[in-house]
Amino acid sequence: MKNLRHLSEEELKSLIASIGEKPYRVKQIQEWLWKKNINEINDMLNVSKATRDRLNEEYSLHKLKIDHSQFSEDTTIKNRFVLHDGDYVEGVLIPTPTRMTACVSSQVGCSLSCKFCATGYMDRKRNLEFDEIYDQVKHLNDQAEQHYQRHLSNIVFMGMGEPLLNYNNVLRAIDKITSEGGMGMSPSRITVSTAGIAKMIRKLGDDQVRFNLALSLHAANDLKRNEIMPINESNNIKVLLEALNYFYKKTKNPITFEYILFANFNDDVEDADELIKICRQVPAKVNIIEYNPIEFAKFKKPDEDKVDRFMAYLDQNKVNARLRRSRGKDIDAACGQLANVNHPSK
């Protein structure tokens, strides 16, 4: 069955005309598909049964659904979503006093094999379609309203997969999320995180996107970054910094460096010095992230004293850095822990 939501507006107009329906049906159908986010074509209550029957002959909606939800002690909610073809991805709702953030996935699995990330130990099965990404956001917004009586305030593409290797679907999803015909969210509330695909970062600049960009740096020299992020061998730090400056020149959008601290690997003063040098080459802020252990990796979290010294050194050198405490660790929902594991029964 064809996916009705994949039809362009012009294609939908042609389809509705061929059925013999009036043009105003197009707007009604689009509202059902996106704003109301229905699960079945038959849910379009103000569309005639004859038209719904005709649509059902050739089309379905290929809906993403929640397969399982886990609730953390810190109020984070992790969801395993099942796709229409039976594959799974995970998405997380992260409530704080000031924000309600949806962390969404862009691929089933990942091909980049980052050594500290659970998703990196999975094979990449396929890219998510733009409507599957949109559905994640809608489901997480519904959870925010149901459990916390608040709407989403932010969206981060920091779940499973590399967003810039699914470029067209990610941008199309964001376009729908930010459109009046979709969720109407501001692009300034959306951040796309990349492990570092230089040519695609430049393409973001050329396309003059309006959302924010984050680079998963995690090591401030090529030798160490090659060790934990194989993508660095073809997209080294110098090339990435040039791409980030190009992006900023084109868009003036905020850039963030994400830097996970690993004990006795990238947490010494010398590492901080290298990070400071990078920060002076790109207009960016830094999120220092505590490491969340996974069973496949050898890394450990530094002790608190070392984290404090690292942060203090950055502060002394006028680096705009913030320590991000992980949330949802007790349900494997924190940064780097998403992996489609088989969850226990609710």
Asked if 177 contacts 155 with a C-beta cutoff of 8 angstroms, the reply is yes
As a whole number of angstroms, the distance between CA 99 and CA 101 comes to 6
Helix axes 304-316, 269-279, angle to 10 degrees: 40
Strand partners, 213: 192, 255
Query: Which of 50, 65, 5 is closest to 29 using CA atoms?
Result: 5
Catalytic residue among 103, 117, 279, 335: 335
The first and second tokens of residue 132, run together, are: 């599957």
SS3 22: coil
The reply to whether 335 belongs to the active site is: yes
Spatial CA neighbour of 20 closest among 59, 46, 57, 54: 54
108 touches 121 (CB < 8 A):
no
Q: Of 10, 57, 90, 117, which one is the catalytic site residue?
A: 90
The CB-side HSE value for 32 (13 A sphere, CA atoms) comes to 18
Q: Is 9 a residue of the active site?
A: no
Distance CA(322)–CA(92), nearest Å, equals: 21
Cα angle: 103, vertex 64, 139; to 5 degrees: 45
What are the residue numbers of the active site?
A: 90, 335
